Protein backbone atom coordinates (compact mmCIF):
# COMPACT_ATOMS: atom_id res chain seq x y z
CA UNK A 1 0.00 0.00 0.00
CA UNK A 2 0.91 3.65 0.05
CA UNK A 3 2.91 4.41 3.14
CA UNK A 4 5.66 6.75 4.28
CA UNK A 5 7.63 6.00 7.43
CA UNK A 6 9.55 8.83 9.11
CA UNK A 7 12.19 8.74 11.86
CA UNK A 8 12.85 9.99 14.43
CA UNK A 9 9.60 11.39 15.79
CA UNK A 10 11.53 13.86 17.95
CA UNK A 11 15.05 15.19 17.48
CA UNK A 12 17.05 17.58 19.65
CA UNK A 13 20.31 19.03 18.39
CA UNK A 14 22.65 21.69 19.67
CA UNK A 15 22.56 24.97 17.78
CA UNK A 16 25.18 24.85 15.07
CA UNK A 17 25.12 21.07 14.76
CA UNK A 18 23.52 19.09 11.93
CA UNK A 19 20.15 17.38 11.93
CA UNK A 20 19.14 14.39 9.81
CA UNK A 21 15.62 13.08 9.30
CA UNK A 22 15.03 9.82 7.43
CA UNK A 23 12.06 8.47 5.53
CA UNK A 24 11.16 5.34 3.62
CA UNK A 25 8.35 4.84 1.14
CA UNK A 26 6.51 1.75 0.05
CA UNK A 27 5.66 2.10 -3.64
CA UNK A 28 8.55 1.98 -6.09
CA UNK A 29 6.35 3.89 -8.58
CA UNK A 30 6.58 6.99 -6.40
CA UNK A 31 8.70 9.63 -8.14
CA UNK A 32 8.38 12.84 -6.14
CA UNK A 33 9.57 13.52 -2.58
CA UNK A 34 8.83 16.89 -0.95
CA UNK A 35 9.73 18.07 2.53
CA UNK A 36 7.55 20.45 4.52
CA UNK A 37 8.24 22.55 7.59
CA UNK A 38 5.41 23.41 9.95
CA UNK A 39 5.93 25.99 12.67
CA UNK A 40 3.63 26.06 15.66
CA UNK A 41 0.15 27.15 14.67
CA UNK A 42 1.12 27.67 11.03
CA UNK A 43 0.53 25.88 7.76
CA UNK A 44 2.97 23.29 6.36
CA UNK A 45 5.34 24.99 3.93
CA UNK A 46 7.36 23.33 1.20
CA UNK A 47 11.07 23.79 1.87
CA UNK A 48 12.67 21.49 -0.67
CA UNK A 49 11.73 18.64 -2.97
CA UNK A 50 13.44 16.04 -5.13
CA UNK A 51 12.36 13.97 -8.08
CA UNK A 52 13.33 10.37 -8.61
CA UNK A 53 15.74 11.10 -11.46
CA UNK A 54 17.97 13.03 -9.05
CA UNK A 55 20.01 11.56 -6.17
CA UNK A 56 20.72 14.72 -4.23
CA UNK A 57 19.60 18.33 -4.09
CA UNK A 58 20.92 21.19 -1.99
CA UNK A 59 19.57 24.62 -1.10
CA UNK A 60 21.83 26.60 1.23
CA UNK A 61 21.79 24.76 4.60
CA UNK A 62 19.26 22.16 3.51
CA UNK A 63 19.93 19.07 1.43
CA UNK A 64 17.90 16.04 0.46
CA UNK A 65 19.21 12.67 -0.67
CA UNK A 66 17.31 9.88 -2.37
CA UNK A 67 18.17 6.20 -2.67
CA UNK A 68 15.61 4.75 -5.07
CA UNK A 69 16.88 1.21 -4.75
CA UNK A 70 16.41 1.20 -1.00
CA UNK A 71 13.36 3.51 -1.16
CA UNK A 72 14.97 5.84 1.37
CA UNK A 73 15.22 9.60 1.37
CA UNK A 74 16.64 11.98 3.93
CA UNK A 75 16.68 15.64 4.92
CA UNK A 76 19.92 17.16 6.16
CA UNK A 77 20.04 20.54 7.88
CA UNK A 78 23.51 21.92 8.59
CA UNK A 79 24.55 24.71 10.97
CA UNK A 80 21.18 24.58 12.68
CA UNK A 81 19.67 27.80 14.01
CA UNK A 82 16.88 28.47 16.53
CA UNK A 83 14.45 29.27 13.70
CA UNK A 84 14.88 25.72 12.39
CA UNK A 85 12.82 24.48 15.37
CA UNK A 86 9.58 23.13 13.88
CA UNK A 87 7.86 19.93 12.79
CA UNK A 88 9.23 18.54 9.54
CA UNK A 89 7.25 16.25 7.28
CA UNK A 90 8.54 14.10 4.48
CA UNK A 91 6.11 13.03 1.79
CA UNK A 92 5.92 10.90 -1.32
CA UNK A 93 3.95 11.55 -4.45
CA UNK A 94 1.92 8.68 -5.84
CA UNK A 95 -0.28 8.38 -8.90
CA UNK A 96 -3.07 10.90 -9.42
CA UNK A 97 -0.88 13.50 -7.65
CA UNK A 98 -1.65 11.86 -4.33
CA UNK A 99 0.77 13.11 -1.68
CA UNK A 100 1.20 10.90 1.38
CA UNK A 101 2.92 12.38 4.41
CA UNK A 102 5.12 10.82 7.05
CA UNK A 103 4.12 11.30 10.67
CA UNK A 104 6.45 14.21 11.22
CA UNK A 105 9.63 14.93 13.20
CA UNK A 106 9.61 17.54 15.91
CA UNK A 107 13.00 19.23 15.74
CA UNK A 108 14.26 21.16 18.77
CA UNK A 109 17.33 23.35 18.42
CA UNK A 110 18.99 23.67 21.81
CA UNK A 111 20.82 26.90 22.71
Partner 1 sequence: DTAVSQTPKYLVTQMGNDKSIKCEQNLGHDTMYWYKQDSKKFLKIMFSYNNKELIINETVPNRFSPKSPDKAHLNLHINSLELGDSAVYFCASSRGAPPRAFFGQGTRLTVV
Interface contacts to partner 1, rule CB under 8 A: 32, 34, 38, 42-46, 49, 51, 87, 89, 93, 96-101, 103-104, 106
Shortest Å, Cβ 79 to partner 1: 26
Shortest Å, Cβ 8 to partner 1: 14
Q: ω before 13 within 30° of 0 (cis)?
A: no
Nearer to partner 1, 2 or 72 (CB): 2
Are the beta carbons of 93 and 99 closer than 8 angstroms?
A: yes
Amino acid sequence: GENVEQHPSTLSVQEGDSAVIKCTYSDSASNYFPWYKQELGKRPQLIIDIRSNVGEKKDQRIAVTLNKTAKHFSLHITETQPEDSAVYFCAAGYRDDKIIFGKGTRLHILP
